[in-house]
Structure 1
């Protein structure tokens, strides 16, 4: 029966669930025999999920630990975890989250940085805590590597919480907003941009969640990013171009990510000047160096030329380091394409 409970819980059981079907001594015996490990108050896991040798004092230590965990695409990636760490810290991410939710016993949902991982937007490093949102007054207490955020008016259910990968998780927009101040400044935009690009959400829906967090640290920067995404920017380089190149005196009102169909092919133009019929493409550093991508770009540019569209490409290096020169070139190209009076 205990094995069936473990299988049903993905290797995780609670004292409450076990003692509903078998005597408590069964749980004690399984721990004493090294089959189960206590990882949180009232929460036990299959010992195979947290390899290590129990010490004489009952504290778990071990000489070695498998150096891999599942990456975002289920590939093996190396990780480093202290070999004498408590069992909860030695669990793989999925088991650690199941254990945290079992500890909360239905009173919390995965949130913040952990939720971003579940949504597939940012892989959470093993040294970051599991984040849970719980209603204020729920009694769910934080533990080592388990951060609990008590929210006024939070309900562990729709519409605030959805089920993803079989686990309760806060809605994507809330996760993006709450995770914003927890990330290093340079890493903050990427999950937001990816969520919009992958059509998991919209800038408007994220902005609505931001409106509910008036005291959020870095709120102005997130608002600016959402404004750029609403304007059609879809990468950090496009945002740079928007702010430093394609706005200001003499610049027309460009369209970002303009959809155009030629024959059977649909294309999106980075920065489109409709009157002059010029498409300014912003090539990222990695894309610019890829010969296969370069060949694809040339074929695309030739197809656009059949429709009378001039494609002008600016590499990442020039946009960032020769900004003034690029601005002058843009203005000169636009002027040359306008009909003379």
Structure 2
């Protein structure tokens, strides 16, 4: 009788060897492995070849082998804060756990995990802990500029979508006094906490909103309107002049463009003029954009 290995290995295609041995003898398992019908991604774990080549299959193998929790970019993907976990699977195990050599696709973090959850059947650290771990990895010796960009995107996006709070990430950061890049994460949380919801807005603070000879531009300035309170990316309240930074993709969507026009009309009804600055122009002509902002300020003072 032919054994259906897809049934034997279950829906994930990954199971502990001990469980498979409850339904099959060691000789059969050895033959299946020898024939390439099963693989051993980690000691004590069996998997279908197709499952072992996916990040979810590797994540399942990692937690079955280690008894730990997924963390870093792997956990962030399960928390829906990243679109893809990257090349490595990240798993946290106890500090006292002996860790033998592992395959290149696996990164083992020997650390304490006081809180964890289960998502899609996989144990993982909290979203705020995953953000901090991914940040430290990106800024460590094995990090890269791309990893730093991804970590920043996850922090900004997580706070913007309210998947995590700035206060929660700060509390988690306080538990890691020697985290690589710790100061940079604290600075980013300060910016995000004060209302910067994208890298473009953060970039604009330094490159656009610093206007010599003009009053300080207030950020995320609230304006009460007929459609509710709106928050301008920047504002010179003295002359009721607002600045909005339109991102490269977000504001190109037709429904977002309609929303922007409605917001601007509501602000105008309250006496506010709004100057919009596109991502393309801001980066290609920052001096021109600053000059336009200054000219608008002086025109409003007349």
Q: Residue 15 of structure 2: which of 8, 13, 16 is its match?
A: 13
Distance in 2 of aligned mates of 1:172 and 1:292:
30
Is the partner of 1:285 in helix, strand or coil?
coil
Q: 2:116·2:125 contact (CA, 8 Å) conserved in 1?
A: yes
User: Unpaired segments of 5 or more residues in structure 2?
Assistant: none
Q: Does residue 136 in structure 1 map to residue 95 in structure 2? A: yes
* Greater displacement, 93-102 / 213-222: 213-222
Q: Does residue 146 in structure 1 map to residue 110 in structure 2? A: no
Report the number of matched residues: 289
Q: Residue 122 of structure 1: which of 82, 106, 131 is its match?
A: 82
Cα 1:291–1:18, aligned 2, differ >3 Å: closer, same or farther?
Answer: closer
The residue that corresponds to 2:124 in the other structure is 169
Is the partner of 2:40 in helix, strand or coil?
strand
Distance in 2 of aligned mates of 1:164 and 1:274:
46
Q: Does residue 101 in structure 1 map to residue 63 in structure 2? A: yes
The residue that corresponds to 1:206 in the other structure is 169
The residue that corresponds to 1:225 in the other structure is 188
The residue that corresponds to 1:317 in the other structure is 280
- TM-score w.r.t. the length of structure 2 is 0.81
Q: Residue 133 of structure 2: which of 165, 178, 182 is its match?
A: 178
- TM-score w.r.t. the length of structure 1 is 0.73
Cα 1:261–1:165, aligned 2, differ >3 Å: closer, same or farther?
Answer: farther
The residue that corresponds to 1:240 in the other structure is 203
Q: 2:73·2:85 contact (CA, 8 Å) conserved in 1?
A: no
Q: After superposition, give the CA deviation of every residue in 1:151-199 in whole Å (9 maximum; x if it has no partner).
A: 1xx14xxx52111222111111221122122352444421111111111
> 1:1-341 maps to which residues of 2 (within 5 A)?
5-7=8-10, 10-20=12-22, 23-32=25-34, 34-47=36-49, 49=50, 88=52, 91-104=53-66, 106=67, 108-124=68-84, 128-144=87-103, 145-151=105-111, 154-155=112-113, 159-180=114-135, 181=139, 182-184=143-145, 185-247=148-210, 249=212, 250-252=214-216, 254-256=218-220, 258=222, 260-263=224-227, 267-287=230-250, 293-338=256-301
Cα 1:4–1:322, aligned 2, differ >3 Å: closer, same or farther?
Answer: closer
Structure 1 residue 279 displacement after superposition: 2.1
Cα 1:125–1:131, aligned 2, differ >3 Å: closer, same or farther?
Answer: closer
Cα 1:34–1:211, aligned 2, differ >3 Å: closer, same or farther?
Answer: same
Structure 1 residue 334 displacement after superposition: 3.3
Cα 1:142–1:124, aligned 2, differ >3 Å: closer, same or farther?
Answer: farther
Q: 2:77·2:85 contact (CA, 8 Å) conserved in 1?
A: no
Is the partner of 1:169 in helix, strand or coil?
strand
Q: 2:225·2:270 contact (CA, 8 Å) conserved in 1?
A: no
Q: 1:254·1:272 contact (CA, 8 Å) conserved in 2?
A: yes
Higher helix residue share: 2
Q: After superposition, give the CA deviation of every residue in 1:228-256 in whole Å (9 maximum; x if it has no partner).
A: 11121111111111123324653335131
CA RMSD in angstroms, aligned pairs only: 3.0
Cα 1:287–1:273, aligned 2, differ >3 Å: closer, same or farther?
Answer: same
User: Unpaired segments of 5 or more residues in structure 1?
Assistant: 51-87
The residue that corresponds to 1:73 in the other structure is none
